[in-house]
Amino acid sequence: MKWKTLILLFLFSVLLIGCSEKTYEPREINAETDICKVCNMGITHEDYAAQLVFKNGDYEVFDDLGCLIEFMKDVDESEVGAAFIKSADGNEWLPVEEATYVYSKDYWTPMNYGVLAFSSKDAAEQYMKENSEGERLTYEQLYDFKWGIHH
Amino acid sequence: MLGKLIVLEWKQMLRSRWLQLVAVLFIFVFVSIVMIQQLALPDIEGFTRQTASFLNLLLFLLPLFTLTIGGMSVAGDVESGWFSLLKTYPMKIFQYVSGKFVALVGSFIFIVLLALGVVFLLGGLFGGVKVPYEFLVIALCLIFIFSAIAILLGTLAKNRLHALAISLVVWALLLLLLSYLVMAIGTVVPGHVLQKLTIAILHINPVDWLRFGYFLISGQTAVLGPTYYDLIGFYGSVAGKAVFIVVTILWIVVPLFLATIKLKKFGVEK
Amino acid sequence: MRSIILHIAFFAALIGFVHEAEAGTDFQQLIDQAEEGDVIHLSKGTYEGNFIIPKGITLIGDGNAVFKPKNPKEPVITVNGANHVTIQGIKVQTPGTGMVIKDSNDIKLSNLIMNGVFSGIDVYRTNGIAVEKTTIAGNGENLGKKGNGISFYDSSGITAKNNDIAHVQDGIYLENAKDISVLKNKVENGRYGTHFMYSEDAEVRDNVYKKNVTGLMIMMTENVSLSRNDISYQDGFNGTGITLYEVKNIDIQNHTISGNRVAISVQKSDDTNISNNILQMNQTAVEAIRSGGSQVKKNYFVGNLVNVRSDMNGIQLKENYYDDYAGIDIDDDGIGDEPYVALQSFGQWMVRKPVYQYYVEAPSVVLLNQIDQQTNKTSKQLLVDENPVTKFETDRGIQWKLYWPQFILGFILTIACIVIWRRSVLT
């Protein structure tokens, strides 16, 4: 009898873990072990990393925004809980729909796609002032963007 | 009294046809795996087919043999009335259990040593073979843990045949069925749930536990993959190592304790 | 001997002045005063500063000339917009970058030693650059805080030969580079041994890659011939011997790839040709993802835990040798009479969910694979080699060779056990 209750309790807790996650939080990147789901590169430059949370609580991490978009194109949208991109200053995870994007061939990213994310338009303007001028992109435009090298 | 009992049990164990058969079988498989793998495959370190098959040999055979032989031996004592006779002596039940345990462990260590002797003997003729010490540690742990479990199973059985049946079921459960169950569940649940489930099973299945122990001792934990990074990190720390030793000892002590209680409280089923 | 020196001096005199530089002198001034084509000999000592070489001169050290930066954030030596520069036989010590070559042509670097650097040599927009016999050891930081050993950006006519690189991020990094030879280098304990990004036309031969995260990482690159590299022990959490990602026309031939987590991983690449390699004792030999058109031909699979695993697209297997092939060859033509099926349920699961890796070669999985071997013979869709080769010439036969200590130990152990057994049983 005791065993049965124990097993039931265990299954119940598993179910709880499975169901309780309604809000999606970005997880921390582990530079030692995390590799990009798409291109397999290790995520040694965390400031450019991106990640996706599935509704079932699984995570996929990416080394560059371009890899995330590549992955999003093929994934079943109904399974996706949220997607995040690190802001260019490396301070915070931004939901991909809310970030401001700027592209310039002079910006370096791990895959050299050259698209950076910012928390606000001001932050983007500021960055462009300090570095070189870039082209503003909306989140929707990312899906038509030609990811590749632009030297 | 305990000493005499151990010697008596030890002699009985070595006289048993079943154990002699098992010893020959074990030595044969042990030697052939070492010879074929070690001499035919290139000498590469790490977790390779060679080390994997060596580890699997231990994981498959040692629990099978200890469980069946130990379980049947205890159940046989009860069945034949030997245990009832022993009870008329001024001897505590715990002494009986520990005597049984020591004799069982002793005979299996003996078999492993004999197998090792033959391997060295033959290996010495072919330029030497390597038997990494991690395997010996794991073999010892396997013998200790499964001898204890075997005695517990023996006390639960009604007769020798029943003991054999229980041992085989438990063996199949720990070696195969639990893993299949987890793998099957894994096809329907998300990855992070499967990962948690795997870690839980790892702690409640002594076979998985010692397999994990092998990776820990040999420093090949990376084989398990990045999803277990935190687990590996914990067991790599001093606290983790202490926990590992404690859990391993619990796996030996608890079954023996339960077996004693069973014999004391409920006597013998007839 | 003397005549040779005289000849060199004479030759040097023909093309320009030969200078002798000594430690403590204002070395930058010496460079500034030198004419195109001059040769500067560097004697033993320490040269401190961040030097800039804007013209075609030759620096020759005897191996004891040590360069240190004044400002460690700047490179110790920068070659900027120069043609025909040769630098050899010097040591560079800096926590930052050793050397930077920018917008130059025909640069030869050799016999350099760099220890504890963030990054060794960075090359930008340069035509004709050779780095040879150079030793680079990175700092002991985490991977994220390391630079590359030698990096080439937007450059062409590149040779990296006989270099020895360790503890850096990427041993040799190439980005948007063309016409590349990577020969006889050794890269250890780094992230990627050699890393190609957006590059083309390369030969990578006779290199040694050991204990990196990935030996050869080739991404979005065309026309690369890989041959005779020795790639072993990339066995960390994400270790791979060779990873290809979105590449075109890559040949992988005559390698020995041993003891890696994954020997060759092919992703999004449909015309890769993998042939005549020995893939031995890896946890997984070949992994293919979205690369159904790539071909694995005439390789030897020996002692791997999983030979081939893939997604639904599979990979083409032709005339390989598999040491776990169970079929027979009755007509003795060296080709097995029935196809080899590399498909394993477990291997496929591992591709989909990395969590399953916990069970790699666990007792239950071993049994599962045995069952697979029987049942998968009927499903001939994926990962099937119609003509498996059955013969594999090894030089490792079983040979008689007495090893006394072990033999005696075994003898004593065996005899002791038998005696104990007999005494226990008989008395």
DSSP C286-326: EEEES-TT-EEES-EEES-SEEEEE-TT--EEES-EETT--
- Answer yes or no: are the C-beta atoms of A104 and A132 closer than 8 Å: yes
Crossing angle of the two packed helices B238-266 and B229-236, in degrees rounded to 10 = 90
pLDDT reported for residue C111: 96
Lowest mean pLDDT among C151-160, C218-227, C357-366: C357-366
Nearest one of C176, C172, C225, C223 to C198, comparing CA atoms: C176
Q: Is residue A1 part of a domain?
A: no
In whole angstroms, give the CA distance from residue C422 to residue B114. Answer: 13
Mutate to test the interface with A, among B173, B188, B192, B224 (most CBs of A within 10 A): B192
Q: What is the pLDDT of residue C394?
A: 59
How far, CA to CA in Å, does C155 sit from each of C102, C192, C346? 10, 20, 44
Range of the domain at A35: 24-143
List where CATH 2.160.20.10 sits in chain C: 1-208
Is the pLDDT score of C159 beyond 90?
A: yes
Say if the Cβ atoms of C363 and B175 lie within 8 Å. Answer: yes
Q: What pLDDT digit, counting tens, does each position of C70-122 carry?
A: 999 999 999 999 999 999 999 999 999 999 999 999 999 999 999 999 999 99
Q: Are the C-beta atoms of C77 and C27 separated by less than 8 Å? A: no
Check if A151 contacts C (Cβ < 8 Å).
Answer: yes
pLDDT digits (tens, 9 = 90+) for B75-124: 998 888 888 887 787 778 888 899 999 999 999 999 999 999 999 998 88
B120 at interface of C, judged by CB pairs closer than 8 A: yes
Contacts of B42 in chain C (CB under 8 A): 258, 280-281, 302-303, 396
pLDDT at C174 over 60: yes
pLDDT, tens digit, 9 for 90 and up, residues B179-189? 999 999 988 89
- Integer-rounded Cα Rg, in Å, for chain B is 20
Question: How far is the alpha carbon of B228 from chain C, nearest alpha carbon, in Å?
Answer: 8
Out of A45, A111, A148, the one facing C144 most closely (by C-beta) is: A45
What's the confidence (pLDDT) of residue C395?
Answer: 52
Does C239 score more than 80 pLDDT?
Answer: yes
Of C144, C197, C243, the CB nearest to A40: C243
Alpha helices in C100-181, H assignment, sequence order:
none
**Does B193 sit within 8 Å of A14, measured CB to CB?**
yes
Q: What confidence category does residue A15 fall into, taking pLDDT thresholds of 50, 70 and 90? A: low
Residue that the structure tokens 């499967």 belong to = B194
Residues C412 and C399: their CA atoms lie apart, in Å, by 23
Cβ A34 vs Cβ A43: under 8 Å: yes
Residues 6+ apart with CB under 8 A from B64: B171
Interface check for B81 against chain C (CB to CB < 8 A): the answer is: no
A-B interface: how many C-beta pairs under 8 angstroms?
28
Q: Tell me phi and psi for residue A58, to 5 degrees.
A: -80, 150
The verdict on a CB contact (< 8 Å) between B229 and C281 is: no
| DSSP-based three-state secondary structure for C146 | coil
The amino acid at residue A11 is L
Half-sphere exposure of B77 (CA within 13 A, CB side): 26
Report the domain count for chain B: 1
Asked if residue C128 has pLDDT above 70, the reply is yes
Q: How far away is chain A from the Cα of C139, in angstroms, using its nearest Cα? A: 16
C221: pLDDT strictly greater than 80 = yes
Asked whether the predicted pLDDT for residue B128 surpasses 80, the reply is no
**What's the rounded Cα separation, in Å, for the pair C45 and B29?**
65
Q: Look at residue B207 and tell me whether its pLDDT is greater than 90.
A: yes
Which among A42, A111, A149 is the nearest to C213, CB-wise?
A42
Contact A148 C219 (CB under 8 A): no
What residue type is B73 in one-letter code? S
Model pLDDT, residue C23: 61
Q: What is the mean pLDDT of residues C218-241?
A: 94
From the number of C-beta atoms within 10 Å of its C-beta (0-12, 13-18, 19+), residue C29 rates as exposed
pLDDT of residue B270: 46
pLDDT-wise least confident of A40-44, B66-70, C274-278: A40-44
Q: For tokens 């087919």, what's the residue?
A: B49
List strands edge to edge, sheet with A50-54.
Answer: A59-62, A50-54, A80-86, A93-95
Alpha-carbon distance of C320 to C298, in angstroms, equals: 4
Phi-psi region of C201 (alpha: psi -120 to 50; beta: other; left: phi over 0): left
**Residue from the list B11, B45, B186 with its beta carbon closest to the beta carbon of C353:** B186
C282, C287, C364: which to substitute to probe chain B, counting the most B Cβ within 10 Å? C364
Compute the average pLDDT of residues B52-56.
89
pLDDT of residue A148: 73
Please give the ipTM for the structure prediction.
0.83
Nearest to C198 among A40, A45, A112 (CB): A112
Q: What pLDDT sits at residue A2?
A: 57
Q: Give domain C1-208's CATH number out of 3.90.550.10, 1.10.357.10, 2.160.20.10, 3.40.50.300.
A: 2.160.20.10
How many angstroms separate the CA atoms of C120 and C96, rounded? 8
* Nearest residue on chain C to A43, alpha-carbon basis: C144
Separation CA A54–CA C309 (nearest Å): 25
What are the pLDDT digits (tens) for C335-378? 998 888 888 878 778 777 888 888 888 899 888 888 877 776 65
The one-letter amino acid code at C10 reads F
Q: What percent of chain C has pLDDT over 70?
A: 91
Closest CA to A106 of A136, A86, A128, A125: A128
What integer best gives the mean pLDDT of chain C?
A: 88
Of C142, C197, C237, the CB nearest to A33: C237
Percent of chain B with pLDDT over 70: 97
Which residue did the predictor score with more confidence, C50 or B14? C50
Range of the domain at B134: 2-266
pLDDT, residue B100, reads: 92
Contacting subunits of C (3+ beta carbon pairs below 8 A): A, B
CB < 8 Å to A35, chain B: 226
* C-chain residues near A29 (CB < 8 A): none
What digits encode the pLDDT tens for the residues C388-425? 998 876 555 556 778 888 899 999 999 999 998 888 87
Q: Which residue of C has its CA nearest to B189?
A: C353
Look at strands C340-341 and C306-310 and give their pairing: unpaired
Query: What domain count does chain A have?
Result: 1
Which residue type sits at C405? P
Chain B residue nearest residue C304, CA to CA: B49
Which of A101-110, B78-87, B175-184, B234-243 is predicted least confidently? B78-87
Contact C220 A149 (CB under 8 A): yes
Counted residue by residue, chain B has a size of 270
- Has residue A3 got a pLDDT over 80? no
* In contact, C175 and C199? CB cutoff 8 Å: yes
Tokens 């873990």 belong to residue: A17
Q: Mark yes or no for CB contact A57/B193 under 8 Å.
A: yes
Question: Which residues partner with C123 through β-bridges?
Answer: C101, C152
- Domain assignment present for A151: no
Whether chain C has a CB inside 8 Å of the CB on B128: the answer is: yes
The gap from C-alpha B156 to its chain's centroid, in whole angstroms, comes to 19
CA C15/CA C56 separation, integer angstroms: 12
Predicted local confidence at residue C9, as pLDDT: 44
A14 within domain boundaries = no
Instruction: Tell me how many residue pairs between chain A and chain C have CB atoms under 8 A apart.
Output: 44
CB B151 within 8 A of CB B100: yes
Residues 21-80 of B with CB under 8 A from C: 35, 39-42, 44-50, 52, 56, 59-60
Looking at A67-71, C1-5, C18-22, C379-383, which range is the least confident one? C1-5
Query: Quick check: A100 and A121 in contact, CB under 8 A?
Result: yes
pLDDT of residue C327: 84
**CA separation for the pair C122, C132 (Å, rounded):** 14
E strands of C69-126, at which residues? 77-80, 83-93, 97-102, 105-110, 113-117, 119-124
Asked whether the beta carbons of residue B124 and residue C407 sit closer than 8 angstroms, the reply is yes
- One-letter amino acid at A21 equals E
Q: How confident is the model at residue C170 (pLDDT cuts 50, 70, 90)?
A: very high
